[in-house]
Amino acid sequence: MHVLVLGATGYVGTAVVDRLVRDGHHVSAVSRTAPADPRPRVTPVRADLADPGAVAALVTTNLDAVVHTAAPLDDTDLPLVDALVDALAGSGRALLWTSGVWVLGRTEDGQEDSPTAPVALVAARPTVEDRVRAAAARGVRSVVVRPGVVHGRGGGIPAMLVGWAGALGHGRWVGAAPAPRWPMVDVDDLADLYALAVDAAAPGSLLHGVAEPGVPADLLAWAAARAAGVDGSTAAWPLDAAADELGDAFAEALALDQVVHAPSARALGWTPTRPAAVDDLTTGSYVGVLSATTA
């Protein structure tokens, strides 16, 4: 297949491109800078996702799928969705769009068919999801993927926890006891889900990219302290204090308590195999990350 990947140089996008190439696909890797790429079957393409017409022009007749892995712009994504759907309409080709589990809000049992109750940071995202999924009625094999909190390759939000631990000398998490639970997924397991969805997901699908339904944030903070090589104790960071530094919306999202499941993704054949988040932090890809970033 020939796949157009938007946000191809980002955290998730890099892993998705790696997996698609490993499966033998050809990738047009779209980013603002389009740096040279040594990977086989990868062609860097420069485009600004804020210019929907320019991105839609990349949907040529030899293209089999479009995968959006870029950081969501929320309601300003709607013109890009519309432009891509217009370009793909009637073709049966795939459009995969990245959202996230924060659209569910606080939940003890989040399923793919659960109603949305998004926190402020992602308030517009359900509208974008609906627009993408509705493209199935126009002959587009449209799929929404909602990752959990992504870990692996020493990056993502867990790397921020490691940075906090290194600066403070102990682990820190946002909220009040009991600590919120975070649905987690390894970035390479997540890339496996994208590859499966490109090949086989049904039009209008919604898939949760969640390997661990709910990991306590204080346990992640403890593991981050281990990764940073400091005291394994942890402390809550009160929401109002965190909001002063991080902004209200991001602090609220980090304090969100969620348990989320992925039955539709599992039914597609997705079986995560990478280390769990705590193991990844304590003995995996985050060990030495802090020293590498401060060297």
pLDDT of res. 295: 42
Confidence of residue 289 (pLDDT cuts 50, 70, 90): confident
Rounded to whole angstroms, the Cα distance separating 203 from 142 reads 5
Q: Which CATH class is domain 2-149+184-211?
A: alpha beta
CA atoms within 13 A on the CB side of 135: 33
Mean pLDDT of all residues in 102-111: 98
Q: Which amino acid is residue 13, in one-letter code?
A: G
Residue 290 has pLDDT above 90, yes or no: no
Question: Which element (helix H / strand E) includes 78?
Answer: helix 78-88
Residue 294 has pLDDT above 80, yes or no: no
Q: Report how far Cα 122 is from the mean position of its chain's Cα atoms.
A: 13
Mapping DSSP to helix (H, G, I), strand (E, B) and coil, where does residue 145 land?
Answer: strand
3-state secondary structure 253-281: HHCCCEEECCHHHHHCCCCCCCCCHHHHH
Confidence of residue 291 (pLDDT cuts 50, 70, 90): low
% of the chain residues with pLDDT over 90: 91
Per DSSP, what are the bridge partners of residue 150? 185
pLDDT of res. 273: 98
Q: Which two tokens stand for residue 240?
A: 């109002």
Secondary structure (DSSP) of 153-216: TT-SHHHHHHHHHHHHSSEEEES-SSPPEEEEEEHHHHHHHHHHHHHHPPTTEEEEE-SEEEEE
Residue among 205, 238, 247, 224 nearest 149 (CA): 224
Rounded to whole angstroms, the Cα distance separating 88 from 146 reads 22
Q: Are 4 and 59 in contact (CB under 8 A)?
A: yes
Q: Count of CB atoms within 10 A of residue 247's CB? A: 13
Residue pLDDT, tens place only, 41-69: 999 999 999 999 999 999 999 999 999 99
Q: Which amino acid is residue 91, in one-letter code?
A: S
Average pLDDT score, the chain:
95
pLDDT of res. 61: 94
Residue among 55, 59, 23 nearest 40 (CA): 23
2-26 burial: b if 16+ Cβ within 10 Å, else e? ebbbbbbbbbbbbbbbbbbbeeebb
Is the pTM higher than 0.75? The answer reads: yes
Confidence of residue 75 (pLDDT cuts 50, 70, 90): confident
20-24, 77-81, 163-167, 287-291: which has the minimum mean pLDDT? Answer: 287-291
The length of the chain in residues reads 295
